[in-house]
Structure 1
Amino acid sequence: MSGTLKISVGQYSDKGRKEINQDFHGVYMPKEPQLSSKGVAIAMADGISSSTVSHIASEAAVTGFLEDYFCTSEAWSVKKSAQRVLLATNSWLHAQTQQSQYRYDKDRGYVCTFSALIFKSNTAHIFHVGDTRIYRLQDNHLEQLTNDHRLWVSQDKSYLSRALGIDHHLEIDYQALPIEMGDRFLLMTDGVYEFVNHVFIINAIKKHGDDLATVATMIVNEAYRQGSSDNLTIQIVAVEELPNQNADEIYRQITELPFPPTLTARMIFDGYQIMRELHNSNRSHVYLAMDTETNTPVVIKTPSIDLRNDPAYLENFLMEDWIARRIDSPHVLKPCEQTRKRNYLYIVTEFIDGLTLKQWMIDNPKPDLETVRGIIDQIAKGLRAFHRLEMVHQDLRPENIMIDSSGTVKIIDFGSTRVAGLTEMNSPIERHPLLGTAPYSAPEYFLGENGTPRSDLFSLGVITYQMLTGNLPYGTQVAKCKTKAAQNRLNYYSILNNERAIPAWIDDTIKKAVHPNPYKRYEALSEFVHDLRYPNQTFLNKTHPPLIERDPVTFWKSISLILTIIVVTLLIQLRNEREITSSNVEKGFGGSIDRCRRQG
């Protein structure tokens, strides 16, 4: 393979004028496929001089980081993988101090500073805690990339404000930088950088750049000559080559296996007997088959012949199998173990004896609320398995969800899944953003933004709404809104307008889940699932929606009845008033006649 990542390293460490060396450093350069999926890691730690056990902390921090980072999931991003490892290391070091005689004196416990570089594809990822430093040399200029975590109390006295093991809480500085061929990175402890000027370092690399180990020794010796009284450690990293595969090379790797022939019923194919076709589309062909060795039913998925010249499509097709093998959940489709040589390009998964959620909704147009909760809860558990590995499904819809004969719900399609760890890898293949299916896609996709777990939550909220009403919360308007202003004008159709008797707080729960602004949705799927079952006090405290919103027909009927009563009352009053007036007139007329008679 041409153009793979190639890093050369020169490093040197000496105890200097101290009795022991409390510094520790290391490099790990894996072979493929980890070289591409995880990168190269360089780490350095510096124990604090006030502690007699900090050299143990330094060694544990570096060796633990270099071992554990490469054991993390390939699906995780570099940032998540490294931070998880460092947080675990910090917890262990802090626990060691708490269990030792130095419990009440942190400056004598298992504490060290730490800096690390991870090169993956065309990016350098920097992790830093304390006062070791990382520099980059470009165009004869030495640039400091890290900040010292020191608190100065006087001109001559300072304390570490951050370090591994000093506290149960750890704040890690992180940054990612694009790298170029020829870049030089230097990691140094304070015993070196405080005593060697930049001109000496730059000139040493210029003269002896082909022998970085010699350069490292020269710089440490210079720091010693300048009077450094501390331990002395330096690592120099040179970027020799960067991944530069072209699309044709990638395509040849992807299509190393030939496309399968057209499959028909009763046909024997790679040890499977084809039973019947389950699904056929312009993107793939799906068949029910029987494994002739184990006599178990399986599903075989083959790529579309029409897209055989599309590397991006083929990459996504094979990605489904890669993703499935890394997710362990009863609510996610399980791939079948490959026990025989594969002669063609295809995917084999378990057979689910059941029906899609789309068909289930057709058969059950008015499910009870508890049934809906049960299905949504299972889908959420499947999604959480994706999210724990920093994967976003991006195409959650009823057609991609199966319910088997036992009622178990499984997510079955991963063709649009976004994997954080893989998006960091450089690829010449042009990847087009996958929006999934428009009615279920989160609004942010239509703004060209990347999906997040909250995007999957939006899709789950839409499915919940559809199961309860048979409709969509915004109709077909979401796909038409290509600006944030337009999305802010989206009109949510309340479930309470439906004929079914659904609690108002359920409507509020779904409305929050499908909010056009992802930051106004639930932070976690578990919160949404909880609020579907238990009334959120925030929603209960809201003003009860007026009758005209909840039930317009009843509202206008009530208004009509009230108006009718008022009209009838007024008519009765008017009639009574007329009768009284008529009686008074008659009495007045009779009294006038009597007076006339008496006068006559």
Structure 2
Amino acid sequence: MNNKLTLDIGQHSSAGLKAENQDSCGARLPEEPQLAMKGAAFAIADGISSSPVSAVASETAVKSFLDDYYCTSDSWSVAHAAKQVLRATNAWLHGQTHQSPYRFDRDKGYVCTFSAMIIKGIEAHLFHLGDSRIYRLRRGTLEQLTHDHRLWQGEQNSYLSRALGAQPQLDIDYRRVSLEAGDLFVLSTDGVHEFLSQPTLIEHLQQHADCLDKAAKTLVAAALANGSNDNLTVQLVRIRNLPAPVLEPLEHAGTLPLPPILKSGDVFDGYIIEREIHASSRSHVYLACDQTSGSRAILKTPSIDLSEDPAHLQRLLMEEWVARRVNSAHVVRAAVSRRPRRFLYTAMEVVEGQTLRQWMTDNPQPNLETVRGIVEQVARGLQALHRAEILHQDLRPENIMISHAGTVTLIDLGSARVAGIAETADENGQLILGTALYSAPEYFLGDQGTIRSDLFSLAVLTYYLLSGEFPYGTQVARCSTVAAQHKLRYRSVLSESRAIPAWIDATLKKALQPNPLRRHEALSEFVYELRHPNPEYRIATRPPLMERYPVRFWQSVSGILLLVIVYLLSLISSTT
């Protein structure tokens, strides 16, 4: 069975009756593994006829999209990567217009319509601006998947309400659609679809289904015959075969055999094993020395018990895959090795020091400033992951190293969720990968995590560093419904034995809200509030006037009562 994405592609573009073709189109179908990681990309653009430079705009838009998209991080989702590229292109086109003689006339600037489609895994991702279109022909029915950004003034006059390069800020339509084998996608400019009815489009597509290039040329010719006076471009993409949902972080990993159980002194794949660090039912961890460079590395091999579990093997490989794509002093790095591997394992750089769990045993009552320093470094590591659209998902003291100099490093990235890979993976019924005591409540509802989920885990870690306890005890893991989570009651971190300001407790309480929408919006906001009192918290936690100034309070009350008595006596005397 063929598990690879297989496509048929055809396209044709013509100037039509005009002297210049201001349309542009292009496609990119990379080889594996890039096809699985980034997908196949298609783009079509139509320059506005009133602009003498719109041909440059449409050509630049298509070329930069197809070139730059494949230069983005593999960890990014399709939507994030494509939008970043389009924002950069939009800024360049808009900047070129402002530097030209037509800076005050958008209709003569570097402006074009733009529609693109990226097919990755079993989904198509659509991006659209203007009045070019994307259709899908499925089982004889043609469906328009995009919406024309055109405003009509009367029956004859209209203008584009959105286009690439028209405004400094980009407002682009994005849509995801599921795929079926046999789906035929049609990308066209208005010179084609405004002069062909949908039945005519279907008829020509079905007549030339065996050759998409011929079908594209036939559609262009039919539109010209029907009176089209514009440039004409058609791009056709047919889904011949869809891949099975897979997750393969390392190329050819599925073909590598499992390593044997290793012991001190063994020579393994170019490494000398120094000693075993840890062994469990999930994996074996070894300290090793590279025979070529002399550098030390941490090797992790899968346990025999889970050797037949593809998901476990993929998560193990994910750790090194992520480490190679994140550059931060607070995230573990992958070991440098240029040798081809003969076995399935991961190799990471050695992080000197001790786990945060051991550090907490040695320092059972750290002061607030020390806790702030640790949490801030953990947050920097998480932020580096989040910039790459990666969630850690298993933040706990055992997965954090702290050196003798106080440098904090996140390790064990095997539970990370990578947006770019998750798009092609089957996540139905996904297990909770993190440790229950530190996991955000939404995971127990079956929801996917967000940045605020890692924030919750960081806040639990902060709470635990300050108190040695957990904000909801063990109750979070037992709450599998929203109603049950509403009954959770936060336990204040304040205690007579701890010198912790009340506003710190308020900061933690917000970050630890069961509802993720009620937490801080960003890690930086939480970290900032650990050092800077939020005025809202200070007002909310401020003791009442009677507690702050009891003598003055009762003096004031007595004074008011005296005035009331005097007033009442005066009323009595005036009536007698």
Question: Given the two structures, how large is their TM-score scaled by the length of structure 1?
Answer: 0.88
CA contact (8 A) 1:251 1:311 kept: no
For 1:565, the equivalent position in structure 2 comes to none
Tell me the secondary structure at the aligned position of residue 278 of structure 1. strand
The 5 A counterparts of 1:99-248 are: 99-244=99-244
Which whole-Å deviations, capped at 9, do the CAs of 1:449-472 have from their partners, x for residues lacking one? Answer: 111111000000000011111111
CA contact (8 A) 1:462 1:473 kept: yes
Displacement after TM superposition at 1:371 (Å): 1.1
* Inter-partner Cα distance in structure 2 for 1:246 and 1:323: 17
Residue 449 of structure 2 aligns to which amino acid in structure 1?
G
- The 1:252–1:46 alpha-carbon spacing in structure 2 relative to 1, beyond 3 Å, is closer
Residue 14 of structure 2 aligns to which amino acid in structure 1?
D
For 1:403, the equivalent position in structure 2 comes to 402
CA contact (8 A) 1:77 1:390 kept: yes
* Inter-partner Cα distance in structure 1 for 2:380 and 2:192: 51
Tell me the secondary structure at the aligned position of residue 379 of structure 1. helix
Tell me the secondary structure at the aligned position of residue 497 of structure 1. coil
For 2:514, the equivalent position in structure 1 comes to 516
CA contact (8 A) 1:312 1:431 kept: no
Residue 360 of structure 2 aligns to which amino acid in structure 1?
M
- The 1:263–1:501 alpha-carbon spacing in structure 2 relative to 1, beyond 3 Å, is same
CA contact (8 A) 1:435 1:445 kept: no
Which whole-Å deviations, capped at 9, do the CAs of 1:274-302 have from their partners, x for residues lacking one? Answer: 22222121111112222233333221111
- The 1:11–1:270 alpha-carbon spacing in structure 2 relative to 1, beyond 3 Å, is closer
- The 1:293–1:286 alpha-carbon spacing in structure 2 relative to 1, beyond 3 Å, is same
Displacement after TM superposition at 1:259 (Å): 2.0
- The 1:120–1:245 alpha-carbon spacing in structure 2 relative to 1, beyond 3 Å, is closer
* Inter-partner Cα distance in structure 2 for 1:251 and 1:114: 34
For 2:312, the equivalent position in structure 1 comes to 313
Displacement after TM superposition at 1:89 (Å): 0.6
* Inter-partner Cα distance in structure 2 for 1:97 and 1:41: 27
Q: Does 1:501 align with 2:490?
A: no
CA contact (8 A) 1:312 1:430 kept: no
* Inter-partner Cα distance in structure 2 for 1:320 and 1:455: 19
Displacement after TM superposition at 1:258 (Å): 2.3
Query: In terms of mean alpha carbon deviation, does 115-124 or 534-543 score higher?
Result: 534-543
**RMSD over equivalenced CA pairs, Å:** 2.4
Which whole-Å deviations, capped at 9, do the CAs of 1:154-205 have from their partners, x for residues lacking one? Answer: 2211111100000111111111111111111111111111111122221112
For 2:380, the equivalent position in structure 1 comes to 381
The 5 A counterparts of 1:467-482 are: 467-482=465-480
For 2:75, the equivalent position in structure 1 comes to 75
- The 1:341–1:202 alpha-carbon spacing in structure 2 relative to 1, beyond 3 Å, is closer
* Inter-partner Cα distance in structure 1 for 2:214 and 2:274: 68
Query: In terms of mean alpha carbon deviation, does 84-93 or 218-227 score higher?
Result: 218-227
Q: Does 1:96 align with 2:96?
A: yes
For 1:587, the equivalent position in structure 2 comes to none
CA contact (8 A) 2:2 2:241 kept: no
For 2:258, the equivalent position in structure 1 comes to 259
- The 1:422–1:431 alpha-carbon spacing in structure 2 relative to 1, beyond 3 Å, is farther
Residue 156 of structure 1 aligns to which amino acid in structure 2?
Q
Residue 459 of structure 1 aligns to which amino acid in structure 2?
S
Displacement after TM superposition at 1:543 (Å): 4.5
- The 1:246–1:279 alpha-carbon spacing in structure 2 relative to 1, beyond 3 Å, is closer
* Inter-partner Cα distance in structure 2 for 1:409 and 1:173: 41
* Inter-partner Cα distance in structure 2 for 1:545 and 1:418: 44
Displacement after TM superposition at 1:433 (Å): 2.2
Q: Does 1:61 align with 2:56?
A: no
* Inter-partner Cα distance in structure 2 for 1:373 and 1:178: 46
Query: In terms of mean alpha carbon deviation, does 357-366 or 252-261 score higher?
Result: 252-261
Tell me the secondary structure at the aligned position of residue 381 of structure 1. helix
Q: Does 1:526 align with 2:521?
A: no
Q: Does 1:360 align with 2:382?
A: no
For 1:275, the equivalent position in structure 2 comes to 274
Query: In terms of mean alpha carbon deviation, does 484-493 or 55-64 score higher?
Result: 484-493
For 2:343, the equivalent position in structure 1 comes to 344
Which whole-Å deviations, capped at 9, do the CAs of 1:301-360 have from their partners, x for residues lacking one? Answer: 111111111111111111111111111111011111123342322211111221111111
Displacement after TM superposition at 1:546 (Å): 6.7
Residue 262 of structure 2 aligns to which amino acid in structure 1?
L
Which whole-Å deviations, capped at 9, do the CAs of 1:462-503 have from their partners, x for residues lacking one? Answer: 000111111111111111111111111111111223521211
Paired residues in the alignment total 550
Displacement after TM superposition at 1:508 (Å): 1.0
Displacement after TM superposition at 1:88 (Å): 0.8
Residue 534 of structure 2 aligns to which amino acid in structure 1?
N
Displacement after TM superposition at 1:16 (Å): 1.4
* Inter-partner Cα distance in structure 1 for 2:464 and 2:372: 13
Tell me the secondary structure at the aligned position of residue 276 of structure 1. strand
CA contact (8 A) 2:246 2:424 kept: no
Tell me the secondary structure at the aligned position of residue 18 of structure 2. coil
The structure with the largest alpha-carbon Rg is 1
For 1:490, the equivalent position in structure 2 comes to 488
Residue 520 of structure 1 aligns to which amino acid in structure 2?
R
* Inter-partner Cα distance in structure 2 for 1:516 and 1:282: 32
Residue 6 of structure 1 aligns to which amino acid in structure 2?
T
Residue 531 of structure 2 aligns to which amino acid in structure 1?
R
Displacement after TM superposition at 1:43 (Å): 0.4
For 1:438, the equivalent position in structure 2 comes to 436
* Inter-partner Cα distance in structure 1 for 2:198 and 2:251: 47
Residue 463 of structure 1 aligns to which amino acid in structure 2?
L
CA contact (8 A) 2:315 2:414 kept: yes
Which whole-Å deviations, capped at 9, do the CAs of 1:516-553 have from their partners, x for residues lacking one? Answer: 110111111111111111111221232525799x9xxx
Tell me the secondary structure at the aligned position of residue 347 of structure 2. strand
CA contact (8 A) 2:502 2:541 kept: no
Residue ranges of structure 1 left out of the alignment (5+ in a row): 551-557, 563-600
Which whole-Å deviations, capped at 9, do the CAs of 1:91-139 have from their partners, x for residues lacking one? Answer: 1111111111111111111000000111111111111011101111122
Query: In terms of mean alpha carbon deviation, does 330-339 or 260-269 score higher?
Result: 260-269
Residue 385 of structure 1 aligns to which amino acid in structure 2?
A
Residue 111 of structure 2 aligns to which amino acid in structure 1?
V
For 2:567, the equivalent position in structure 1 comes to none
For 2:561, the equivalent position in structure 1 comes to none
Tell me the secondary structure at the aligned position of residue 376 of structure 1. helix
Q: Does 1:47 align with 2:47?
A: yes
Tell me the secondary structure at the aligned position of residue 143 of structure 1. strand
- The 1:539–1:20 alpha-carbon spacing in structure 2 relative to 1, beyond 3 Å, is same
Tell me the secondary structure at the aligned position of residue 265 of structure 1. coil
- The 1:498–1:195 alpha-carbon spacing in structure 2 relative to 1, beyond 3 Å, is farther
CA contact (8 A) 2:245 2:424 kept: no
Q: Does 1:394 align with 2:393?
A: yes
- The 1:535–1:252 alpha-carbon spacing in structure 2 relative to 1, beyond 3 Å, is closer
Residue ranges of structure 2 left out of the alignment (5+ in a row): 555-576
CA contact (8 A) 1:254 1:311 kept: no
- The 1:10–1:251 alpha-carbon spacing in structure 2 relative to 1, beyond 3 Å, is closer
CA contact (8 A) 2:54 2:109 kept: yes
Displacement after TM superposition at 1:263 (Å): 1.6
* Inter-partner Cα distance in structure 1 for 2:180 and 2:291: 53
For 2:283, the equivalent position in structure 1 comes to 284
For 2:573, the equivalent position in structure 1 comes to none
- The 1:53–1:336 alpha-carbon spacing in structure 2 relative to 1, beyond 3 Å, is same
| Percentage of matched positions with identical amino acids | 55
Residue 187 of structure 1 aligns to which amino acid in structure 2?
L
- The 1:509–1:250 alpha-carbon spacing in structure 2 relative to 1, beyond 3 Å, is closer
Residue 194 of structure 1 aligns to which amino acid in structure 2?
E
